[in-house]
Structure 1
Amino acid sequence: MMEEFKKLGLSENVIAALKKKGYVTPTEIQQKTIPVLLEGKLDLIAQSQTGTGKTASFAIPIIEKAKENSKHVQAIILTPTRELALQVSKEIESLRGQKRLRVLAVYGGTSMNDQIQKLRQGIDIVVGTPGRVIDQIKRRFLDLSQVSFTVLDEADEMLNMGFLEEIEKILENTNPHQRMLLFSATMPKPIQMIAKKFMKEHLFLKIENKQLTIGLTEQVYYEVASSDKFEALRRVIDISDEFYGIIFCKTRVEVDILTRQLIDKNYSAAGIHGDISQEQREKVLSLFRAKRVNILIATDVAARGIDVNDLTHVVNYSLPQNPESYVHRIGRTGRAGKSGMAVTFIIPSERNRLRFIEKIAGGEMNRKELPSINEVIAFKKKHIRQTVEQYCQAGTSGSYEEIAKEILISNTPVSALASVLELAFKAVLNPQNYKELRGVNDSHRTSRKGKKDSFGQNYRKQRSDRDGGFGSRNKRTDDGPRFDSRKSRPDSGKRFDSKKPHSEGPRFDSRKPRSEEGQRFDSRKSRPDGGKRFDSKKSFSGGKKKSFKSFKR
């Protein structure tokens, strides 16, 4: 037990902490990185996907190397989001065991003064987002001149969020003799440039991607027109017995729009993204965990750190950018021995990207057809019947029975119950709450003029929608009759030849306009009124050349 970890050269304190957390054997990235970092001779670049145990791979060596009762910051760890900063700081605290190391998460959306007070008291390991770390450096409350480790966690995500400039400024303020560690799922050129600029001799490790999809997660997708996504989502939710899931969108604006659309249709929904405060985020997540809100709409970044085990659905309202993001999303359902469903909506142009994600992520995605309006209504009726039967078996209070007896005095049981059901569920069972879906096969040939996309926004005008564009060859004149724009005007009767003028005169050169007397002139030489050639270096009165300053008032 724990023999593999002992072979890595870890202390008994860390071994005990790992055992307490349930670790048995190190992952591949932990086996390769921990010995290198403990030796302390090389910087490190590790290309690894989410879920491979990379946090422990850099946290353990930092804990082993850090000294107790230090009077300066010994390690700085940068993360793209405050959620990940909190997650990493808690992981370090759980791995430090009995070693007295002070850890602080530094991020925006919370009190700056609280963080300043703790920094003044002394912190060994700082985990933070680039923006807030820069703020504390500028205020001179955070000194990184003596750090032994600098870690860039999920470096590609930080670059995607526009933190390149902040990262470089932070690195310029760190100890030049530190060990620098860079972890990233991808290796774009800006990351390579950072490594070249700030790293010394380093080791590059690449952990091969493995299939991480959960066996108990059913993966399905629906191909719909972009403007039908919201309608499709409603149908998926409405044919589920107990929908409890996360819906992923690409941008913060899309999260806000979709959240508002769902609430307007009386769904219990809430959204989170990077623009909301930490207090508001925690409030929303508390409601979601308590199932007082059963639909959570989020961006990939905002969803990091959310740990809920009994989700029934994960919905990709927007197709993720890469297979790793897809795996990370759908891995939130089908946990703890429970089945789950991963639903993905695509438009026809995204078919190839979906196939690529399916190939890399592993597992089969089954295409399904959306239920019809009648099928949704039938499912709702079945659900209502089952709910009523459950209430009947559980028994009702005396006050309701008294009302029921009074109603039955003048009504038959069937008509009375039907009236109660209509009163309670008329709006729910109204087919007009849904709209017909367009077929995806011909949707791309249909004009988008006056149409809205899945978030209720107007499409950009296509050329066929503009006056005078393609498709508008035959237009009506003010007088009514149609004419062909390739021919002459309606009042002429002759076909127009662009090589000849409207008059019967000789062919003219459009580059040499006519004067009022009909004589040709060269606009580059003389003016139509017969004046002298114009010289821009002289004044308009023909006098001596004036300087630019003479024209100033």
Structure 2
Amino acid sequence: MQAVQGYLAASTLRTLHNSMFSATYPVFVQRTAKQFLRAPEFLSLSGEQVHVTDTEHLFYIVPSMDKDRTLVRIIEIENPASAIIFCNTKTAVHYVTVVLQRFGYDADELSADRSQSDREQILKRVREGTLRFLVATDVAARGLDIPELSHVIQYEPPEDPEGYIHRAGRTGRAGRPGTALSLVSEAETLTLDAIAKRYSIEFQQRRAPADTDVQAIVAERVTTLLEARLRERDRLQTERSQRFVPLARTLAGNEDESALIAMLVDDYYQETLHAPPAMVREAAPAGELQGGPPPARRPQRRRPPSRRPWRSER
């Protein structure tokens, strides 16, 4: 701004109409305004309330050493369509990104260490909806305008209270509802209390989900997905799968072998719900679903039973 001002003539500066916009008015913003504006007047469009009213503000009290696993459990329970996860340091950003990726989530990091080309590519994926979770610091994510961002998750509260407004303001934009989640330790609740009093935000405390909560909800989801998948199968596919029914019963009844079934179900769940959007399996045509007529097919001659690929020729 100072460089641009240096190219303008004094007469131009006197007649130029300038405006500045900011979510908050900290001291350094006011100082900058006085430097570039003549007799600036401050206009607040939201009165005393600077946060987005359509955003739900939630927090979980979590032990510091269990934040990473709690974050995974919250993601499973909330199942956000897209989210930015804020950390205070580049080290924390990298750690959280690695944890999410190892758990099978579509996540990437954005920090000052990334090259400009990497940053542009990551932001392009976020805006196009092909990156589900972005982990970032305040510096990296300041000023981002990401449409339809459903959640903002604060892995740790910001060091500056005003940072909360900028973080939470990434969601709930253009009249859309949003959710801002905060993970805080017992000591960090004091920071959250200060933010609540300063900006008149009503935080709602949620109980941190346990492993049993996650097990119940993912079991319900994967059962629904598999039942829908089963209804899509035609008669030949159903007939083909019958050869594995005895094996499935044997594996289910053997505690040592049940890990095989758990592995297959887990892989299917991750590939279906947590794969990058571009890799998610396309839905079957409407006619393939139960309740709709199957699409017209040219009659085909059935092969003799001995030629079926799952039967031995011997």
Q: CA deviation at 1:255?
A: 1.5
Alignment partners' CA distance in 2, 1:247 and 1:285: 14
Alignment partners' CA distance in 2, 1:201 and 1:262: 46
Alignment partners' CA distance in 1, 2:36 and 2:54: 45
Q: CA deviation at 1:409?
A: 6.7
- For 1:361, give the aligned amino acid: Y
Query: Which of 178, 182, 205 matches 1:344?
Result: 182
Q: Report the counterpart of residue 376 of structure 1 in structure 2.
A: 214
Contact 1:323/1:358 (CA < 8 Å) preserved in 2?
A: no
Alignment partners' CA distance in 1, 2:205 and 2:39: 43
Going from structure 1 to structure 2, the CA distance change for 1:414 and 1:224 (only over 3 Å counts) comes to closer
Contact 1:322/1:357 (CA < 8 Å) preserved in 2?
A: no
Deviations 1:41-86 (A, max 9, x none): xxxxxxxxxxxxxxxxxxxxxxxxxxxxxxxxxxx567xxxxxxxx
TM-score normalised by L of structure 1:
0.40
Alignment partners' CA distance in 2, 1:347 and 1:355: 12
Q: Report the counterpart of residue 101 of structure 1 in structure 2.
A: none
Classify the secondary structure of the residue corresponding to 1:297. Answer: strand
Q: Report the counterpart of residue 75 of structure 2 in structure 1.
A: 237
Contact 1:248/1:315 (CA < 8 Å) preserved in 2?
A: yes
Contact 1:323/1:361 (CA < 8 Å) preserved in 2?
A: no
Contact 2:195/2:201 (CA < 8 Å) preserved in 1?
A: no
Alignment partners' CA distance in 2, 1:213 and 1:191: 19
Going from structure 1 to structure 2, the CA distance change for 1:400 and 1:327 (only over 3 Å counts) comes to farther
Alignment partners' CA distance in 2, 1:310 and 1:294: 12
Alignment coverage as a number of residue pairs:
258
Q: How does 1:105-254 map to 2 (within 5 A)?
A: 146-148=7-9, 178=13, 185-188=25-28, 202-207=38-43, 210-254=48-92
Q: CA deviation at 1:410?
A: 6.7
Q: Report the counterpart of residue 268 of structure 1 in structure 2.
A: 106
Q: Report the counterpart of residue 406 of structure 1 in structure 2.
A: 243
Classify the secondary structure of the residue corresponding to 2:84. Answer: strand
Q: Report the counterpart of residue 287 of structure 2 in structure 1.
A: none
Classify the secondary structure of the residue corresponding to 2:243. Answer: helix
Going from structure 1 to structure 2, the CA distance change for 1:355 and 1:207 (only over 3 Å counts) comes to farther
Classify the secondary structure of the residue corresponding to 1:334. Answer: coil
- For 2:87, give the aligned amino acid: C
Q: Percent identity at matched positions?
A: 28
Alignment partners' CA distance in 1, 2:99 and 2:249: 41
Q: How does 1:369-448 map to 2 (within 5 A)?
A: 369-393=207-231, 395-396=232-233, 400-401=237-238, 403-408=240-245, 421-425=261-265
Q: Report the counterpart of residue 195 of structure 2 in structure 1.
A: 357
Alignment partners' CA distance in 1, 2:181 and 2:33: 38
Q: CA deviation at 1:277?
A: 2.0
- Name which structure has the greater RCO, CA cutoff 8 Å, separation 6+: 2
Alignment partners' CA distance in 1, 2:55 and 2:103: 28
Going from structure 1 to structure 2, the CA distance change for 1:428 and 1:397 (only over 3 Å counts) comes to closer
Q: Report the counterpart of residue 30 of structure 1 in structure 2.
A: none
- For 1:425, give the aligned amino acid: V
Going from structure 1 to structure 2, the CA distance change for 1:229 and 1:398 (only over 3 Å counts) comes to same
Q: How does 1:90-105 map to 2 (within 5 A)?
A: none
Q: CA deviation at 1:270?
A: 0.5
Deviations 1:450-477 (A, max 9, x none): xxxxxxxxxxxxxxxxxxxxxxxxxxxx
Q: Report the counterpart of residue 147 of structure 2 in structure 1.
A: 309
Which stretch has the larger CA shift, 406-415 or 395-404?
406-415
Contact 1:241/1:383 (CA < 8 Å) preserved in 2?
A: no
Note the residue ranges of structure 1 that are not aligned, 5 or more in a row. 1-75, 79-125, 127-143, 149-174, 430-553
Two-structure CA RMSD over aligned residues (Å): 3.8
Q: CA deviation at 1:357?
A: 1.0
- For 2:26, give the aligned amino acid: T
Deviations 1:190-243 (A, max 9, x none): 985x899xx599525444563133333221111222222212211111112344
Query: Which of 283, 307, 325 matches 2:121?
Result: 283
Q: CA deviation at 1:342?
A: 0.9
Deviations 1:148-172 (A, max 9, x none): 4xxxxxxxxxxxxxxxxxxxxxxxx
Going from structure 1 to structure 2, the CA distance change for 1:281 and 1:411 (only over 3 Å counts) comes to closer
Alignment partners' CA distance in 1, 2:102 and 2:193: 34
Alignment partners' CA distance in 2, 1:233 and 1:312: 16
Query: Which of 269, 285, 297 matches 2:135?
Result: 297
Going from structure 1 to structure 2, the CA distance change for 1:358 and 1:253 (only over 3 Å counts) comes to same
Going from structure 1 to structure 2, the CA distance change for 1:263 and 1:201 (only over 3 Å counts) comes to closer
- For 2:115, give the aligned amino acid: S
Q: CA deviation at 1:400?
A: 4.7
Q: CA deviation at 1:147?
A: 1.9
- For 2:243, give the aligned amino acid: E
TM-score normalised by L of structure 2:
0.67
Contact 2:127/2:147 (CA < 8 Å) preserved in 1?
A: no
Note the residue ranges of structure 2 that are not aligned, 5 or more in a row. 270-314
Alignment partners' CA distance in 2, 1:206 and 1:200: 14
